[in-house]
Structure 1
Amino acid sequence: MSVAGIIAEYDPFHNGHLLHLRETKAFSPDGVVVVLGGNFTQRGAPAAFPKRVRAKMALAAGADLVLELPLPFSMARAETFASGGVEFLASLGVVDTLSFGSECGDLSLLQRAAEAVDSETTQAGIRRLLQSGMSYAAAREAAVCERYGEAVAAVLRTPNDILGVEYLRACRRLAPALESRAVLRQGAAHNAAQPSGRIASASRLREALFAGEPVRDFVPAKTVSVLEEAVRAGLAPASFAGLEAGVLAFLRTAPDALAHVPDFSEGLANRIAKAARTARTLEELYDTAKTKRYAHARIRRAVWSAYLGVRESDAQGGVPYIRVLGFSERGASLLQTAAGRAAKPMALRASDIRRLDARAERMFSLECAAADVHALLRPRRGVCGEEMTEPLIRV
């Protein structure tokens, strides 16, 4: 079999994603598996589109099987996000290639960067530079540059290449047999403010959706109906604005919750708790707490992790089960094959998880909480319990 895996958020799925998916399908004729981030994202914010809407987009565009990356991995720093996704693909037992987008498109250079970051020399340099007050990202880049040169360090400046390096590091640790393919990113950059031709970044599309602007020129014809139906139904775009007073109230009255979040530091927790005492909006809190060392994304992840009850220990021990969101006819065949090969329990229904161990139950309870909170952030607010009732997506 020749099956590729993609780790993605697709918030929303756009023409650039379609190009990546098509190229991946060209070298993986037996199927493409997508590990999809859930209702809260790696950037530390609620997804604009619910995970099942994004799963429908991926399947409509040609993906064969969509799995859910659990909350402690989907809303996490790049290293944890990548490790969870790679472990997921490897444990499925049918994926032989990891495909990811890249600004440089140079797999050899990305592999050199992954090896450089993993080296003890670099790790020692990172620790030294962190003590001087640098952010982790700046310290990592500087430490790599010192020992391995500018060309290798340069790939640690662009978002997709940074994730690519983390994917390769995770493969070295968790899935050495998994082949990797770096697909050159085309069109607008990751956070570009303006489109390039018919390709716009996901962040630009989210801004357009919040402003009520049309986006269909930048979304594949096969998925635009899914996107527009979600908007008409009031499922998207989700925004934290309707809940920010509650989040601020939580941080003001329960600051100790910050002591248990992933990527914890006492300095960060103190800055967030102090900022919460005067901030009137979450954006004001993020700006007040931000320093050279503590970037916006890290602050956002800490705030939402505290609010949702995600702890540092939740990502330890890896992914406890494989949650299926949807599949095509070919994806159904992949599932049948995976059933006899998977290294972790397969979960097609909530009841499948309920029969597993306490750690799986804990992970699922976090997903339920995230879904219930996300339902309040949508234009048309939803009720609790969709994790227990939403059916599998079949196309």
Structure 2
Amino acid sequence: MEPASVPVGIIAEFNPFHRGHAALIQAARENGATHVAVVMSGDFVQRGAPALLSKWSRAEMALRCGADAVFELPLPWAMAGAERFALGGVFLLAQLGCRRICFGSECGDVRALQETAALLLSPAFSAQLKLELSRGTGFAAAREAAVRALAGPQAAALLQTPNNTLGIEYLKAAQLLGVELEPFTITRFGAEHHDSAPRGGFASATALREWIQKGEGWESFVPPEAAEILKREIALGACPTDPARMERALLFRLRSMTLAEFASLPDISEGLENRLFAASRKACTLDEWFSLVKTKRYSMARLRRILFSALLGLTAGDAQGLPPYLRLLGLRDSGVLFPRQAKETGNIPVLSHSSDLLHLDKRGRIMVELEGKGSDLHALFLPRPAPCGLNLSHGMVRVRS
């Protein structure tokens, strides 16, 4: 890494890229970042859904709005709960030589987030969590109750909001991996994560996705450079995705699965496979399937992730360990130091061209095949379905500085 450089990392979905994301990149610059790398979800996102538009277009948005390089967070970590999502992202930022991690949070208090992260890694928390779970409480509520019992209501309240929770998981991941990433957080302003109405000139990604689906009212909440890409993709029939286009295919996959196949999916525990198996033989719509399996113990995001894992053939074994490579989605001229640093000091391959696949080990090739399935499936959720094979045939996005 260049002696005077201060490389900063961001973990994101950009689904879609909006003014709040641009503000985060700007804040990283204002606080000393000379280069900004993004580790971004690919064709499927954490809440268990296809991304609104392709990973390539979202990478281009980020590059045109201030990022220097965008790398893909592989599917088993991208479409996962906060803990695994953060672990994969932080690991890849460390491989890139990032010295800081920048993220938004509702509280804006790094010290409070660090203290809570340390608590969640303590033996005392593990014991208290086990006690709370034994009472039949769902994991999120049990975790919050355990923190409240050990550190009081203010610490527990941090776990009630999504960006605080992700920030805590980033800090936990850095401790678990033994990597030095100086955290910097900006207070999330404007609309909250799931707000359906704008606030202070900012709109949530949830609201933006809804407005883009309806074709109205979204443009002023997206930076002009990103808005041009969105309009281009909409005109091409490459945005927005709609899971309803594949509802019967999803139902067929569920009906064709065995009990053992359900048991092998990620996030299956406590006999959930039996509930999924039974519901799949009764449900005639996805709404009906969700109503049959949903309880207070299982969040809708978890069930959606299980649903798409089933369709993709993703198993619990695929999500073990850490990402086996760095996939470069897009690059500005100013971002070349990131893949260069990863090749010099990292311990996983960097993929920037199709020929790089020849150097992958067996696990890496399996992961690329899985990403290919994800890309091919994502293409079928589009207004105008795209051909298969784009995961390998689509070139890296280049933006001139």
Partners of 1:20 and 1:185 within 8 A in 2: no
What's the counterpart of residue 113 of structure 1?
116
Counterpart of 2:102 (choices 80, 99, 104) is 99
Name the aligned partner's letter for residue 242 of structure 1.
R
Give how far 1:131 is off: 2.5
Range with bigger deviation, 167-176 or 139-148: 167-176
What's the counterpart of residue 211 of structure 2?
208
* Aligned-residue CA RMSD (Å): 1.3
Q: Determine helix, strand or coil for the equivalent of 1:244.
A: helix
1:190 aligns with 2:190: no
Q: Determine helix, strand or coil for the equivalent of 1:269.
A: helix
1:31 aligns with 2:35: yes
What's the counterpart of residue 348 of structure 2?
344
Partners of 2:339 and 2:350 within 8 A in 1: no
Give how far 1:354 is off: 3.4
TM-score with structure 2 setting the length: 0.95
Name the CA distance, whole Å, in 2 between partners of 1:16 and 1:134: 34
Counterpart of 2:142 (choices 139, 148, 151) is 139
Partners of 1:348 and 1:392 within 8 A in 2: yes
Counterpart of 1:126 (choices 121, 126, 129) is 129
Partners of 1:86 and 1:175 within 8 A in 2: no
Counterpart of 1:391 (choices 392, 395, 399) is 395
Name the CA distance, whole Å, in 2 between partners of 1:287 and 1:161: 29
Aligned residues: 394
Show CA shifts across 1:220-253 (max 9, x none): 1121101111111111111111111111111111
Q: Determine helix, strand or coil for the equivalent of 2:336.
A: helix
Name the CA distance, whole Å, in 1 between partners of 2:158 and 2:230: 33
Give how far 1:36 is off: 0.4
Structure 1 runs of 4+ aligned residues shifted over 3 Å read none
Task: Name the % identity.
Answer: 43
1:66 aligns with 2:70: yes
Show CA shifts across 1:149-187 (max 9, x none): 011111000000011110000011114311111111110
What's the counterpart of residue 149 of structure 1?
152
Show CA shifts across 1:296-334 (max 9, x none): 011111111121111112122211111000110101243
Counterpart of 2:6 (choices 2, 13, 28) is 2
**Shift in CA distance, 146/357, structure 1 to aligned 2, threshold 3 Å:** same
Residues 284-303 of structure 1 aligned to structure 2 (within 5 Å): 284-303=288-307
Partners of 2:94 and 2:179 within 8 A in 1: no
Q: Determine helix, strand or coil for the equivalent of 1:340.
A: helix
Gaps of 5+ in 1: none
Q: Determine helix, strand or coil for the equivalent of 1:80.
A: helix
Name the CA distance, whole Å, in 1 between partners of 2:32 and 2:316: 36
Give how far 1:283 is off: 2.8
Partners of 1:260 and 1:306 within 8 A in 2: no
Q: Determine helix, strand or coil for the equivalent of 1:87.
A: helix
Partners of 1:15 and 1:219 within 8 A in 2: yes
Give how far 1:263 is off: 1.7
What's the counterpart of residue 90 of structure 1?
94
What's the counterpart of residue 280 of structure 2?
276
Gaps of 5+ in 2: none
